[in-house]
């Protein structure tokens, strides 16, 4: 490692596309943009064999044996953190950034240099009594880590309030750095649908994503003879996909299934708006991706979505409210093509100004300097 730059260790339990998930995608893109900034000397600790980043980026990669997914997940995260901690003891970086629970066992060893990023905080937003009961060990573990860290990252919005409560009474600071996405240099062109407006859902086919609410609304459009107004295109995978495939869908619903990046880009380009009736969320990357393609957004007011969407580029709705979702879609269909185009342009301008990777990377570098500089004083 160079001695002239701040030495930063980024710890993750997986890197996209070798591991799937929002945090894993974030790990890859953050590492790549930090490396391109030329501001830090970056080491990434991950569970994958061989080199996974382009050698030209100059990222040092350290292999950490992966978790055993057949065993109790939280216990495996603890054991993974033991292995990460041992590697950090050898590396002795100036700053440690932990994605999720990667730095947990013996966390106090790194307290003065540790930044923890818990991402969506799903364990604090669970709905049923059973979910809340099952989530309490994760809440307890995160509280243990946060209260022994220098900084915890919030994506913003309601998540900041949650983390302020978790960190209360400790020396840990809550710092807001939103999620980010790749933003085209020019505003993507938008086309006007000749048939029904295409509303695109992208996400996991699971209860928390509110697909049951979407299906209720889709059926109502059919029952009222308004199926020619909107078409719902659903892209993703998950435990409920097979169920929806078998039960029979409203004729205005199209199941796309799991899609690759090129297919997803084509779906963004051809849709009229993104729809995400989720029950709880962090700061959904799919919303940022759709905004970068100059699309209006219809989304639940959960997590940090209010940081992404307002009256100028979409609709923020109460989670789980089928009537509110129906009324928002009806209002959107009654907007003129010119108004819908203005909403999309606002999305693009907002994401470019606040949620692009250059903006996020610069915020992380600034934070790394604060932490690393304070330790050297």
Residues recorded for the chain: 377
* Helix axes of 322-333 and 211-223: crossing angle, nearest 10 degrees: 60
pLDDT tens digits, 176-186: 999 999 999 99
CATH class of 6-180+356-376: alpha beta
The mean pLDDT of 266-276, rounded to a whole number, is 96
Average pLDDT over residues 63-74: 88
The terminus-to-terminus CA distance of the chain in angstroms comes to 21
Per CATH, 6-180+356-376 and 197-354 having the same topology is answered: yes
For the chain, give every domain's residue range. 6-180+356-376, 197-354
pLDDT in tens, 113-141: 999 999 978 778 766 777 777 778 899 99
| pLDDT, tens digit (0-9, with 9 covering 90-100), for 206-248 | 888 999 999 999 999 999 999 999 999 999 988 888 888 888 8
Confidence (pLDDT) at 155: 95
pLDDT digits (tens, 9 = 90+) for 25-65: 999 999 999 999 999 999 999 999 999 999 999 999 999 99
Residue 374 has pLDDT above 70, yes or no: no
Residue closest to 154 by CA, chosen among 136, 175, 134: 175
Per-residue confidence (pLDDT) for residue 67, from 0 to 100: 85
pLDDT of 375 over the 80 cut: no
Strand order of the sheet with strand 297-300?
Answer: 253-257, 230-235, 197-202, 273-276, 297-300, 314-317
Please state, rounded to an integer, the average pLDDT across all residues of the chain.
92
Q: Read off the pTM.
A: 0.89
Task: Look at residue 317 and tell me whether its pLDDT is greater than 50.
Answer: yes
- Cβ atoms of 125 and 303 within 8 Å: the answer is yes
What's the confidence (pLDDT) of residue 2? 43
The answer to whether 235 touches 200, Cβ cutoff 8 Å, is yes
Tens digit of pLDDT for each residue in 329-361? 999 999 999 999 999 999 999 999 999 999 999
Domain 197-354 has CATH 3.40.50.720: no
């Amino acid at each position: 490692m160079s001695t002239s730059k701040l030495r930063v260790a980024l710890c993750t339990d997986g890197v996209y596309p070798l591991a799937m998930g929002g945090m894993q995608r974030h790990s890859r893109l953050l590492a790549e943009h930090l490396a391109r900034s030329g501001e830090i000397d970056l080491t990434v600790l991950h569970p994958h064999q061989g080199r996974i980043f382009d050698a030209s980026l100059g990222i040092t990669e350290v292999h950490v044996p992966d978790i055993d997914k057949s065993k109790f997940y939280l216990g495996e995260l603890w054991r993974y953190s033991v292995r990460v901690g041992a590697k950090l003891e050898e590396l002795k970086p100036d700053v440690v950034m932990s994605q999720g629970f990667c730095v947990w066992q013996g966390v106090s060893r790194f307290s003065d240099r540790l930044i923890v990023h818990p991402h969506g905080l799903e364990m604090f937003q669970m709905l049923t009594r059973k979910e809340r009961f099952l989530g309490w060990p994760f809440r307890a573990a995160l509280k243990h880590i946060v209260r022994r860290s220098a900084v915890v990252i919030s994506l913003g919005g309601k998540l900041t309030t949650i983390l302020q409560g978790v960190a209360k009474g400790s020396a840990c600071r809550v710092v807001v750095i939103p999620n980010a996405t790749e933003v085209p240099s020019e505003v993507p062109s938008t086309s006007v649908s000749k048939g029904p407006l295409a509303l695109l859902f992208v996400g996991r086919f699971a209860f928390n994503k509110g697909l049951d609410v979407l299906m209720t609304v889709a059926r109502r459009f059919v029952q009222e003879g308004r199926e020619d107004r909107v078409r719902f295109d659903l892209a993703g995978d998950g435990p409920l996909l097979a169920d929806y495939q078998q039960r029979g869908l409203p004729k205005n619903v199209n199941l796309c299934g799991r899609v690759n990046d090129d297919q997803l880009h084509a779906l963004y380009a051809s849709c009229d708006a993104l729809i995400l009736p989720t029950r709880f969320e962090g700061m959904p990357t799919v919303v940022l991706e759709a905004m970068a393609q100059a699309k209006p957004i219809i989304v639940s007011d959960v997590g940090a979505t209010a940081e992404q969407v307002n009256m100028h580029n979409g609709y923020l709705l109460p989670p789980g409210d089928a009537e509110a979702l129906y009324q928002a879609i009806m209002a959107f269909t009654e907007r003129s093509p010119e108004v819908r185009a203005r909403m999309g342009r606002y999305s693009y301008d907002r994401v470019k100004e606040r949620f692009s990777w250059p903006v996020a990377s610069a915020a992380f570098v600034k934070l790394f300097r604060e932490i690393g500089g304070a330790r050297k004083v």
